[in-house]
Structure 1
Amino acid sequence: MSAPNKSYDPVEVEALKPEAIERAQREALTAIAEAADLDALREVKAAHAGDRSPLALANREIGALPPHAKADAGKRVGAARGAVNKALGARQQVLEAERDERVLVEEAVDVTLPYDRLPAGARHPLTTLMERIEDVFVAMGYEVAEGPEVETEWFNFDALNIGPDHPARTTADTFFVADGSRSDAEGAEGSGLVLRTHTSPVQARALLGRELPVYAICPGRVYRTDELDATHTPVFHQVELIAVDEGLTMADLKGTLDHMVQALFGAGMRTRLRPSYFPFTEPSAEMDMVCYVCRGASVGDPERPCRTCSSEGWIELGGCGMVNPRVLTACGIDPERYSGFAFGFGIERMLMFRHNVEDMRDMVEGDVRFTRPFGMEI
């Protein structure tokens, strides 16, 4: 590139001749219009608008012109480069729009395909059954009470008349979080925390936290040191009921049980009570309900055996009884004035009865093929 020269004629510079600039602009516009896609347009841009393009090289020659010739040459080159850049921007917009339309067509989703190729989930039947049981008792005027799953030993055992030497308070039956017999670094006794082994502690909390009379139902998750098999699981669900008022008797308990099984299993269902023992009730009883399959018709009839009840006519459902006066006293209630009844049973066991579920492991594996047949009841 030569130094400025006042006598230099710009017409003699080949790259700055009007016809050369016009030819470079025309070739650039033609190449831009013929670019079929964005990749081709990028190549055209590099060739006709890049640093080594004809118009860019012509622009460099302007600096060597005398001052009186620079303005005219600069206008011609600038106008040509501006036209090329404008054409590049317009063509890029067109090609991007074509690309987007093509993507919409090529990557379109056919919404007419089957929507259920992957099975949808469903509410777990244990949740549905617990809510149905709650509805039965809420309709009778009961409250739903809740309590912590990590419970103190006092609520889980002592308040329920389960003494320190009771077998249930060993590690063979209970998951201990903090042993109350140990001391911490300062010499204070530990908290004595366990994973609750039943929902009965919620009964004690309900009696301590509510004004009498108390009518409460307590569903929830409990823990036992059982192996997982067809009929046992270390984590399961229970529902318990507590009613404390003046003048309650075993007759009130029996009537409540009859209403419950009829609401859950159908009209005509009956219950019976067999003497038993539980530390927190006195007297205590095992609650049976008439077999919901044979309704007792298989008893003594070898031609009509019933697999559900083994032709005994009754199915054991849970334990019940009148609240032990010691439990009332532990909760600050006068047992001379008030009495109460309580019962509890496992939700998993009731689900097995209602729906002929043979293996409890099916309830905890999370397979939608097990949960979906129960529906999406809300």
Structure 2
Amino acid sequence: MLDRIKEVIDEVTTATVGTKEDLENFRLKYISRKGILNDLFEQFKTVANEQKRAVGQELNKLKNFTEQKFKDFSEEVENASDDSANSRKFDLTLPVAPNFAGTVHPLTLTRQKVLEVFARMGFSHEDGPEVETDWYNFTALNFPENHPAREMQDTFFVEKKAVQKDDVLLRTHTSNVQVRLMERKKPPIRSIMIGRVYRNEAISARAHCQFHQIEGLYVDKNVSFKNLKDTLYHFAKEMFGKDTKIRLRPSYFPFTEPSAEIDVTCFICGGSGCNICKHSGWVEIAGSGMVDPNVLLNSGIDPEEYTGFAFGMGVERITMLRYGINDLRLFFENDVRFLRQFEGA
């Protein structure tokens, strides 16, 4: 039987496999249930006891050698099939496809411009959570308990709790970052907050359930309404052109007093009147005002020592004015035809 084992070792040593079919034939011949190895192990049962030790050792060597050979053949066949597939998939003689540079989203362009303008005025950039509690989104900002903004038709609530100020919701403005900033940092504070906000509104060309908001906050000793006006005037000229003018209209916001809406001269018609400005010559861009003393108190700042101003505007609104876009939904559709218009902008 030792001679037969030696013959099989020689056969396996000289065997060659080139295809998956050859590999399968090798398996069937040597290591399958009806193969040569199985037959040899059956014959081993009849070997005399004094020869079992020597024959068993050689038989185990043959088994290990054949199985390793099959494993090596399997890897060779697999690699050969991969190379063949790759050669069919890639034609190296074809010309190189041109690379098209991507474009920056128009909202990102506006965001970068805004941060650049306010950075030159000494404003830092702050960020905060989009999932917020009622305290930071409403109560600390002087919203009355019965204010309409707290209702389900205006706010996306994540979790309603027994105590109203503990309700969890999607923030409706980035003013929550102002409160958090004033809690952890003492004046002087001069910061810009930009981020995504959510309101339960029907989606249309002029409204969306999610959008981006810019808010600014300046708190220090002797901050006046004139400081607010000068800041926004400088921003408008930097953002829309040196000939831009602004006007302030009295308004109301729970967290500022006095409050004002900010309009800029329509840069499409130069103030003469067009569809963009509804023939008024003015376009609204922001709401603003002096920080209400109650907001300062809620944030741990003494309103007898410090005053401040705040303002807020929509990134989408500014972007629509900058680029003459008339449908807000275009910002969220990822239409390549729309986005490619901003190449190099």
TM-score of the two chains, using structure 1 as the length reference = 0.68
Higher mean alpha-carbon deviation, 323-332 vs 103-112, is at: 103-112
Contact in 2 for aligned 1:122/1:368 (Cα 8 Å): no
- Counterparts of 1:168-207 in structure 2, within 5 Å, are 168-180=149-161, 182=162, 191-207=166-182
Deviations 1:209-230 (A, max 9, x none): 1121110111111111101111
CA distance in 1, matches of 2:250, 2:82: 79
- Residue in 2 aligned with 1:374? 342
Residues 37 and 161 from structure 1, CA distance in 2 versus in 1: closer, same or farther, beyond 3 angstroms?
closer
CA distance in 1, matches of 2:325, 2:258: 33
1:340 equivalent in alignment to 2:308: yes
1:151 aligned onto 2:141? no
In 2, the alpha carbon distance for the partners of 1:170 and 1:46 equals 75
Cα pair 2:102 2:343 within 8 Å, conserved: no
Deviations 1:304-360 (A, max 9, x none): xx2222332110011001111221222222222221111101111111111122211
Q: The residue matched to 2:166 in structure 1 has which SS?
A: coil
Could you tell me which amino acid in structure 2 is paired with residue 269 of structure 1? T
Q: Are the counterparts in 1 of residues 134 and 165 from structure 2 also a CA contact under 8 Å?
A: no
**1:257 is matched by which residue type in structure 2?**
L
Q: In the aligned structure 2, how far is the partner of 1:152 from the partner of 1:100?
A: 56
Q: Does the 8 Å contact 1:198/1:222 carry over to 2?
A: yes
For residues 114-142 of structure 1, give each alpha carbon's deviation from its aligned partner in whole angstroms, at most 9, with x where no partner exists.
346xx876443223322321222122211
Q: Which residue of 2 aligns with 1:267?
A: 242
Matching of residues 120-269 of structure 1 within 5 Å: 122-180=103-161, 182=162, 191-269=166-244
Are 1:287 and 2:262 an aligned pair? yes
Letter in 2 for 1:109: D
Judge conservation of contact 1:277–1:283 (CA < 8 Å) in 2: yes
| CA distance 1:37–1:241, shift in 2 (3 Å) | closer
Alpha carbons 1:208, 1:332 under 8 Å: kept: yes
Number of residue-to-residue matches in the alignment: 319
In the TM superposition, what is the alpha-carbon distance from 1:103 to its structure 2 partner?
5.5
Quote the Cα distance in structure 2 between the aligned partners of 1:361 and 1:122: 18
| Distance in 2 (alpha carbons) for counterparts of 1:190 and 1:254 | 33
Q: Secondary structure in 2 aligned to 1:345?
A: strand
Match of 1:267, SS? Answer: coil
Query: Can you give the 5+ residue segments of structure 2 that lack an aligned partner in the other structure?
Result: 1-10, 37-69
Range with greater deviation from structure 2 (209-218 or 124-133): 124-133
Q: Secondary structure at the match of 1:206?
A: helix
Q: Please tell me the root mean square deviation across aligned C-alpha atoms, in Å.
A: 4.3
The structure whose Rg is larger is 1
Report the Cα distance in structure 2 between the residues aligned to 1:160 and 1:144, rounded to whole angstroms: 20
Contact 1:179 1:190 in 2 (8 A): no
* Letter of the 1:355 counterpart: Y
Q: Matches of 2:21 and 2:208 in 1, distance apart?
A: 64
C-alpha distance 323-43 of structure 1, shift in aligned 2 (>3 A): closer
Name structure 1 gaps, 5 residues minimum. Answer: 1-27, 54-88, 184-188, 300-305
Letter of the structure 2 residue corresponding to residue 194 of structure 1: L
The 8 Å contact of residues 281 and 342 in structure 1, kept in 2 or not, is answered as yes
Contact 2:126 2:177 in 1 (8 A): yes
1:318 aligns to 2:286 (yes or no): yes
1:112 equivalent to 2:80? Answer: no
TM-score (structure 2 length as normaliser)? 0.74
Q: Would the aligned equivalents of 1:178 and 1:190 in 2 still touch at CA under 8 Å? A: no
State the Cα distance separating 1:109 from its structure 2 match.
Answer: 3.0
Would the aligned equivalents of 1:136 and 1:263 in 2 still touch at CA under 8 Å? Answer: yes
CA change 1:43–1:361 in 2 (3 A) is: same
- Quick one: distance in 2 between partners of 1:217 and 1:295? 29
Is contact 1:217–1:239 with CA below 8 Å preserved after alignment? yes
User: Identity over aligned residues, as a percent?
Assistant: 42
